Structure 1
Amino acid sequence: MKKYISIAALTLLVAFAWSSCTKDKPVDEDGLLITSRAECYVSNFELLGADFQTVRTKNAVIDTTACTINVEVFYGTDLKNLWPQFSLVTDAKLDPKVTGKVDFSDLANPKQYTVVSGNRQVRKTYSIFITVKQ
């Protein structure tokens, strides 16, 4: 009798453990949790040089309405080897991902990055305008 009770208890325990491991929350293709948040903006922007030190002369001006980021960098900055860093609203993600140094040397054609909301339904494309201090 004890054997049947322990088998039944073990079966219930395994069934409970298995059912608690199922995915209750949806995730996107990057494995990030999809939430109900619709906010979608850049809150801060940093631009680092090859030595991972800032190349900005002052804080970036972020216009969340026009979706623009204006950054002034020091004269002599190597614009071909910059590392952009974005601070986004909670649960948002960036597309394309920043995976390394980026070439910002074509000042006439600003780089564009899209911020995707936590619910993955709102997308805002930001243009980054760089000027070099004289």
Structure 2
Amino acid sequence: MRASKWRIAPLLTWTFLVWISRVRNVLTDQDLEVAGVAWRLGAAGIFLGLAAAVLGQLILGHQGTQQLKWLATWSIGFWLVRGTGILIDSNWSFEFKAVHSALMIVTFAMVALAISGPRLRE
């Protein structure tokens, strides 16, 4: 594995851990209605699908540049919209906001690491 691929591994690991955990939480939450389950699983599915596409390209020996750009863009866009929504919504507790702020910040850091360097200058 080339050194540049090692910059992507933390983002992929983080994405799989966070969003597989999210799927499990959604599927075990008895308080969610069908629409709530659907949009949460849809968002998680996009994250997991994009991460799987990047991983697949890397396993096949390809650069996976386009898939990485899609994952990076989706990750940043999702957390800017959803994270901001959580932070400004007075219905969420401080603890909930703190946890999701941490998830957002770590995601941004993992994206920055993954897209840094010469990898995306093709």
Larger Rg: 1
- Both proteins in one fold, TM over 0.5: no
TM-score, normalised with respect to structure 1 = 0.23
Which structure is higher in RCO with an 8 Å CA cutoff and minimum separation 6? 2
